[in-house]
Chain A
Amino acid sequence: MEEQRYVVFLFPSVSYALKAEKILKAAGIVHKLIPVPRHISSDCGVCLRITEAKEQDVAGALRGKVAWDKVVLL
């Protein structure tokens, strides 16, 4: 079985991450808020983890509503 691959959306601050969380909840897209992995950024905040397959869906849901800094493959 192929291992599940994840990406994380990184945001300017937790306020943005929580707004994104609210939008994804309303859109019914499975996601998880996790602390930003140290190898990605030294920022002490949180990021949104989703499966790689959902990246375009998430970008579409967030675009124009909440800004993100970048998307990184875990």
Chain B
Amino acid sequence: MPLERSKNSTIYFDNAATSWPKPAAMIAAMIAYNEQIGGSPGRSGHHRSLDAGRIILETREALAELCGCGNSLRIAFTKNATEALNIALSGVLNPGDHVIASAMEHNSVMRPLRYLEAQGVQISVVPCSGAGSLDPEDVRRVIGPRTRLLVVTHASNVTGTIQPLTALGKIARDYGILFCVDAAQTAGALPINVDEMAIDLLAFTGHKSLCGPQGTGGLYVRKGLEKQLRPLMTGGTGSRSEFEEQPDFMPDKYESGTPNTIGLAGLGAGARFVLAEGVEAIRGKEEGLTARFLAGLAALPGVTVYGPPDAASRTAVVSFNIAGVAPSAAALGLDERFGILCRPGLHCAPAAHRTMGTFPQGTIRFGFGYFNKDEEITLALEAIGSLAGDGAPH
């Protein structure tokens, strides 16, 4: 059985959950912080504290470059995209406000919205095509006098479907509505420009395509919007210490408490890796892997693929099912028999699965990354073919 895995070989296709492996420089930066710096940034003022602060500044600058925001101080760091989205949504929405979301949102958007709905915020969830694509005209149709915010995922975590952000941002700007983007799946994987896309609030995570560690993320806030955006937490910031009121400026307003400096050291190195390789080059590699995989799946009987048919319309994420095999059983078989790691189920996005018609059984999701190789795609296709053969009626 040449397909069966050796004990040492693992094929990591769960990059949509968290990327692996990480660049060596990312791990080195985290070790260097702990061994050589160790100070608390923004506190104390001694040279180790300043060095810690410089690390965080450099991370901010790299992130600003990646999202096309001219001023790095417009970015506040959080522990993940979920926290950033919670700040954005609960920070601007008040009872009586109307908010528009797509039917492909992750629960990191849906749950904060449902929580706010119970407090009197009105929600419109705009249906998407079966492939998960949001039509900007459908958004335009539900805009009303109380519409305050449009929130959309840049790309689905289930199907990889890329939404037309530029068109959506233009509609939001035309109607005077705030535009919030969940870039959890795309920061570092696709080009993003907050000005060209008219994005007011951009939430990102550090541990996926930005090649950083878990526990890092952030929120870009358009200039001036911080005056209307409530913080999720208040507390010590190292600034304005003589006052007992929260600072009202970026990024301190949203960065209470000692930050995750070691994580941000890693995120900075990860983001600089992405900048050095180039987002376009990374996208090219990942699109190639995805196209290869989609073409291979199309040739396998009993396999259903969800989302857009082409690799160009999606990130490096592919959801599929094998006839006669439950997603959870397929994932277990892929792991135990072939050493292939992926994620089955609903992927914290029940709305997206309802859109595709895969609720509640879910799908098998492969998420490719920059470090994956063509040979791994070939091996995975053989493994899926083998499982499909097992599942086929005899």
Of B30-38, B244-252, B285-293, the one contacting chain A is B244-252
Q: How far is the CB of B131 from chain A (nearest CB, A)?
A: 42
Task: Name the residue of chain B whose CB is nearest to the CB of A11.
Answer: B239
Determine chain B's interface SS by DSSP, over half rule. loop
Contact between chains at A44 and B73 (CB < 8 Å): no
Contacts of B72 in A (CB 8 A): 19
With an 8 A cutoff between CB atoms, is A22 at the interface?
yes
Q: Please name all residues of chain B whose beta carbon is closer than 8 Å to the beta carbon of A43 when the two chains form the complex.
A: 239-242
Pick out which of these stretches binds chain A: B48-56, B106-114, B154-162.
B48-56
B238 CB–A CB distance under 8 Å: yes
Whether the pair B45, A35 counts as a contact (CB closer than 8 A) is yes
Residues of A close to B238: CB separation below 8 A: 13-14, 44-45
Nearest-CB residue, chain B, relative to A14? B42
Distance of B199 from chain A, by nearest CB (Å) = 21
Interface size on B, residues (CB 8 A): 24
Residues of chain B from 264 to 284 with CB closer than 8 A to chain A in the complex: none
Taking the nearest CB of chain B, how far is it from the CB of A74, in angstroms?
16
Evaluate whether A18 and B239 lie within 8 angstroms (CB atoms) in the complex, with A12-B249, A66-B73 already known: no
* A14–B239 CB distance below 8 A: yes
Interface string of A8-27 (1 = CB under 8 A from B): 00001111101101100000
The docked-state distance in angstroms from the alpha carbon of A15 to that of B55 is 11
CB distance from B332 to the nearest CB of A (A): 47
Contact of B237 among A13, A16, A65 (CB under 8 A): A13
Residues of chain B contacted by A18 (CB below 8 angstroms): 50, 53-54, 57
A58 interface contact, C-beta 8 A? no
Q: Does A50 contact B (CB under 8 A)?
A: no
B41 part of interface (Cβ distance < 8 Å): yes
Which residue of B is nearest A66, CB measured? B73
| In the complex, A4 has a CB within 8 A of chain B | no
In whole angstroms, what is the CA distance A45 to B257 when docked?
15
Docked-complex contact B239 and A12, CB < 8 angstroms: yes
Of B57, B237, B241, B249, which contacts A19 at CB under 8 A? B57
A62 within 8 A of B: no
Docked complex Cα distance between A14 and B39 (Å): 14
Q: Is B386 an interface residue (CB 8 A)?
A: no
Would B57 and A12 count as touching, CB distance under 8 A? no
State A48–B86 Cα separation when bound (angstroms): 35
* Contact among B42, B50, B60, B247 with A33 in the assembled complex (CB-CB below 8 Å): B50
A-B contacts, 8 listed (Cβ < 8 Å):
A13-B238, A15-B53, A15-B56, A22-B54, A22-B61, A41-B242, A43-B240, A45-B239
B interface with A by C-beta (< 8 Å): 41-43, 45, 50, 53-54, 56-57, 60-61, 71-73, 237-242, 247, 249, 251-252
